[in-house]
A and B are shown apart, each in its own frame.
Chain A
Amino acid sequence: MNTATIKTKINTAQPTSVEQVEKESVYSTRQLNLWYGNNHALKNIDLEIGENEVTAIIGPSGCGKSTYLKTLNRMVELVPSVKTSGEIHYRGRNIFDSSYGVEELRTRVGMVFQKPNPFPKSIYDNIAYGPRIHGIKNKKILDEIVEKSLRGAAIWDEVKDRLNENAYGISGGQQQRICIARTLAIEPDVILMDEPTSALDPISTLKIEELVQELKEQYSIIIVTHNMQQAARISDKTAFFLNGEVIEYDRTDTIFSNPADKRTEDYISGRFG
């Protein structure tokens, strides 16, 4: 009965997207503003993010793209002096509601960071960390989760014989895939990626990009990237941020072939940034 009421709640609160009807919105951002102290970092952001899509966020340094991403799982609040206004609805619920615990939100929305940041533990313990803190203790189930997650992150074959070794003993690209596997281990709904390949070599980058393509079958992915070619290669939709505002948000092929805004065109053709 409980689930039924929640379902109706979600349905009634489902935002009606104007442009997009074919896919449900996972996130809908409404009039989001964010300040670091007096610095107005995000201005009146309105964005609808679709389910099982890859949404790329591009823009020059300091445009607020990482800030926006970190707002989606409220990691941005770790910075003291952050103030926000507006609403972000995740699956129909405002994440800024006082009744919405950040732990609950972050259990549904995973994150992969710019620099690989595995825990200083064994590979196995890295993957099992999430399930363990959320109460899964059974060794057999954990074994299954670890294998499934590592396979999901396309790194099982490379590490299956060294699960008990420290995660810092493998290469940076492998570490980043361990971090992705770690995120997959709690089967989140959305995966946020903050420039996940900026610290990696081209081959590792390619592997992660291929992985993103596979993952979007099951997950909604929002990826911040510095690399416009990367956005063009892997994303379905692209949002262009500039000075804390969304200048343009559309299908990726439209953004890259026929941008509506002059500033978008200038940026993607490399005239600035």
Chain B
Amino acid sequence: MRTSVQELIAKSKDKKSKKIIEKLIPILLFLIASVSVLTTIGIVLTLIIETITFFTRVPLSDFILGTTWLPFANSGAQFGIWPLIVGTLKITGIAIVVAVPIGISAAIYLSEYASDNVRRIVKPVLEVLAGVPTIVYGFFALTFVTPVLQSFFPDIKIFNAISPGIVVGIMIIPMIASLSEDAMSSVPKSIRDGALAMGSTKFEVAWKITVPAALSGIIASVVLGLSRAIGETMIVSLAAGSTPKFDGDFTGSIQTMTAYIVQVSKGDAGYGTTIYYSIYAVGFTLFLFTMAMNILAGYMSKRFREEY
């Protein structure tokens, strides 16, 4: 005679191994999850401790008020962070000027005009572009964009802010386009229909209805792009040079915070020297910048949310 299904279920429930596994799984998962959290805490702690050590040697006021960055001077080394911040801002500024109009235009095209077929092809291509290693972009800036720029403006030096700025911009276009497109596509069709039914043209719908409705997402994508531009390392190390400067010149060699860290890390600054600690202080400053960007992104997307 066949035993009932309920009896079979009761039998298999009694198995001990199953109970033990059920108890072990959450513990195991907790341990694995802890690894990533602990690593993050560890990194931030190291950053803070080494930064504090740096400030026992160089006064904080010199660091945040100084406008000369001369870490390698034999006597009278100066650690004023501003030249590096200015270098970073130059790159970021150019990148945003390049990436925002192009990225948002691409997003408008993809979400409002492109046929499904075009979207099906272009979106993955954009995502591939986002996956190109930054070292490739670096070479592209140094060996292609800079010479092209030089042929138009002979004043531009081999290392300059413009070329890597443009290329960092190109690098973040896919991100801005893709995220903005997501935000615009999620604006309900019924709202677009409402606007079309009033005699709006397609462009009026895109510009006056869809873009404002998706503005929080678009701004978030721009701020995310900004924080990637600030943290970008390889392109600026290769193509922007290594001359920390506190001025408004874009045509000559500059240095960003990230490029300075690379320069020191691959050089032979001994452990325990002031220069060694300085990379932590610069890294911490960078960390503050990107953190501020992320908070800004959160705030902006709340502030500009048009609810629907």
Does B212 sit within 8 A of A, measured CB to CB?
Answer: yes
- Known A115-B190, A117-B190: A129·B306 in contact at CB below 8 Å: no
Docked-complex contact A107 and B199, CB < 8 angstroms = yes
> Once the chains bind, are A133 and B204 in contact (CB under 8 Å)?
yes
Which one of A78, A117, A186 contacts B194 once the chains associate, using CB atoms below 8 Å?
A: A117
Q: Pick 9 A–B contacts, CB within 8 A, sort by A.
A: A78-B193, A103-B199, A113-B193, A118-B191, A119-B191, A120-B213, A133-B199, A182-B198, A186-B198
Closest 3 CB pairs of A and B: A107-B199, A120-B306, A111-B197
Interface of A is mostly: helix
B209 and A119 form a contact (CB under 8 A) = yes
What mask results when residues 105 to 140 of chain A are scored 1 for a CB within 8 Å of chain B, else 0?
111001101010111110000000110111000000
Interface residues of B in 13-32 (CB under 8 A from A): none
Q: How far is the CB of B174 from chain A (nearest CB, A)?
A: 27
Tell which of B193, B199, B213 touches A130, judged by Cβ atoms closer than 8 Å: B199
What 0/1 readout, one digit per residue, does chain A (139-160) give for beta carbons within 8 Å of chain B?
Answer: 0000000000000000000000
Q: In which size bucket is the chain B interface? A: 20 to 34
Q: Which residues of A contact B195 (CB under 8 A)?
A: 119, 129
- Number of A-B residue pairs having CB atoms within 8 Å of each other in the complex: 69
Q: Does B125 contact A (CB under 8 A)?
A: no
Q: How many residues of A contact B (CB 8 A)?
A: 30
Q: How far is the CA of A249 from the CA of B181 in the complex (A)?
A: 46
CB distance from A192 to the nearest CB of B (A): 8
Nearest A residue to B307, CB-CB:
A168
The smallest beta-carbon distance between B116 and chain A, in angstroms, is 9
* A28 contacts chain B at the CB level, 8 A cutoff: no
CA distance A110 to B199 in the complex (A): 8
Q: Fill in one digit per residue for B242-260: 1 if any A CB lies within 8 Å of its CB, else 0.
A: 0000000000000000000
Q: Does B199 lie within 8 Å of A106, measured CB to CB?
A: yes
Interface pair B198/A121, CB less than 8 Å apart: no
Q: Which B196-221 residues have C-beta < 8 A from chain A? A: 196-201, 204, 208-209, 212-213
B residues near A183, Cβ cutoff 8 Å? 198
Residues of A with C-beta under 8 A to B212: 120-121
Given A120-B212, A121-B306, A168-B307, do A113 and B194 touch, yes or no (CB 8 Å)?
yes
Inter-chain contacts of B190 with A (CB < 8 A): 113, 115, 117
- The distance in angstroms between the C-alpha atoms of A111 and B201, with both chains bound, is 16
The answer to whether A103 touches B194 (Cβ under 8 A) is no
In this assembly, does B188 line the interface, its C-beta being within 8 Å of a C-beta of chain A? yes
A104 on the B face (CB < 8 A): yes
> B213 to chain A: which residues have CB within 8 Å?
119-120
Question: Are B197 and A103 in contact, CB atoms less than 8 angstroms apart?
Answer: no
B308 CB–A CB distance under 8 Å: yes
- Residue picked from A106, A107, A115, A133, most chain B C-beta under 10 Å: A133
Q: Given A166-B307, A168-B307 in contact, is the A104-B191 Cβ separation under 8 Å?
A: no
- Beyond contacts A104-B199, A110-B198, A121-B212: 14 other A-B pairs, Cβ-Cβ < 8 A, are A75-B193, A75-B197, A102-B199, A117-B194, A119-B194, A120-B212, A129-B195, A130-B199, A133-B200, A134-B199, A166-B306, A166-B307, A168-B307, A169-B307
